Amino acid sequence: MQKISLEQLVAFLKEQGFIFQGSEIYGGLANAWDYGPLGVELINNIKQAWWKKFVRNNKYNIGLDSAILMNKEVWVATGHLSSFTDPLVDCKKCHTRYRADKLIEDFSNGAVTGDGKTNEELLEYIYSNKITCPNCGALEYTDIRKFNLMFKTHQGVVEDNKSEVYLRPETAQGIFVNFKNVLRSSRKKLPFGIGQIGKSFRNEITPGNFIFRTREFEQMELEFFCKPGTELEWFSYWRSFCMDFLIKLGVDKAKLRYRDHSKEELSFYSNGTTDIEFEFPWGFGELWGIASRTDYDLKAHQTHSKENLEYLDPETNEKYLPYVVEPSVGVGRILLAALFSAYDEEVNEKNETRVVLRLANVLAPYKLAVLPLIKKNHAEKANELFELYNEHFSTVYDESANIGKRYRRQDAIGTPYCVTVDDETLNNGTVTLRDRDTMEQIVLKTTEVIPYIEEKLKF
Ligand code: ATP
Q: Count CB atoms within 10 A of the CB of residue 394.
A: 16
CB 274 within 8 A of CB 290: yes
Residue 114 pLDDT grade (very low, low, confident, very high; cuts 50, 70, 90): confident
111 burial type by CB count under 10 A (0-12 exposed, 13-18 middle, 19+ buried): exposed
- 344-399 pLDDT tens trace: 999 988 888 999 999 999 999 999 999 999 999 999 999 999 999 999 999 999 99
How many angstroms does the Cα of residue 330 sit away from the middle of ligand 1? 7
Order of strands across the sheet that contains 441-445: 395-397, 368-372, 417-421, 430-435, 441-445
Query: Is the CB of residue 204 below 6 angstroms from any atom belonging to ligand 1?
Result: yes
Enumerate the CATH 3.30.930.10 domain ranges in the chain, comma separated. Answer: 6-69+167-339
**Closest listed residue to residue 49, CA positions, set 209, 306, 275, 246:** 246
pLDDT of residue 228: 97
How many angstroms does the Cα of residue 443 sit away from the middle of ligand 1? 47
DSSP calls for 162-194: GGEEEE-S-SHHHHHHTHHHHHHHH---SSEEE
Phi-psi region of 292 (alpha: psi -120 to 50; beta: other; left: phi over 0): beta
How many angstroms does the Cα of residue 333 sit away from the middle of ligand 1? 9
pLDDT of residue 160: 78
Query: Is the CB of residue 289 below 6 angstroms from any atom belonging to ligand 1?
Result: yes
- The answer on pLDDT for 100 being more than 80 is yes
- 223-266 pLDDT tens trace: 999 999 999 999 999 999 999 999 999 999 999 999 999 998 89
Ligand 1 atom closest to 214 (CA): 28
Cα-based distances in Å from 225 to 104, 208, 229, 297, 299: 35, 34, 12, 11, 13
Query: If one looks up domain 366-456 in CATH, what number appears?
Result: 3.40.50.800
Q: Choose which residue among 147, 170, 217 to substitute to test ligand 1 binding: the one with the highest number of ligand atoms within 8 A of its C-beta.
A: 217
Cα-based distances in Å from 434 to 354, 370, 406, 422, 426: 15, 11, 12, 14, 19
To the nearest whole number, what is the mean pLDDT of the chain? 95
Provide the 3-class DSSP secondary structure of residue 451.
helix
For domain 6-69+167-339, the question of CATH label 3.30.365.10 is answered with no
* Measured distance CA(126)–CA(121) in Å, rounded: 9
Query: Is the CB of residue 288 below 6 angstroms from any atom belonging to ligand 1?
Result: yes
How many angstroms does the Cα of residue 89 sit away from the middle of ligand 1? 20
pTM (predicted TM-score): 0.94
CB 385 within 8 A of CB 431: yes
* DSSP state letter for 91: B
* DSSP state letter for 142: P
- The answer on pLDDT for 2 being more than 80 is no
Atom 12 of ligand 1, nearest CA residue: 289
The bridge status of strand 145-148 relative to strand 272-280 is unpaired
**Closest listed residue to residue 321, CA positions, set 295, 297, 292, 300:** 295
Atom 18 of ligand 1, nearest CA residue: 288
Atom 1 of ligand 1, nearest CA residue: 286
Helix (H) or strand (E) holding 356: strand 353-357
Q: Count CB atoms within 10 A of the CB of residue 85.
A: 15
Chain centre distance of CA 5 = 20
- 403-441 pLDDT tens trace: 999 999 999 999 999 999 999 999 999 999 999 999 999
Query: Is the CB of residue 219 below 6 angstroms from any atom belonging to ligand 1?
Result: yes
**Closest listed residue to residue 388, CA positions, set 415, 419, 357:** 419
The torsion angles phi and psi of 439, rounded to 5 degrees, stand at: 65, 10
Enumerate the CATH 3.40.50.800 domain ranges in the chain, comma separated. Answer: 366-456
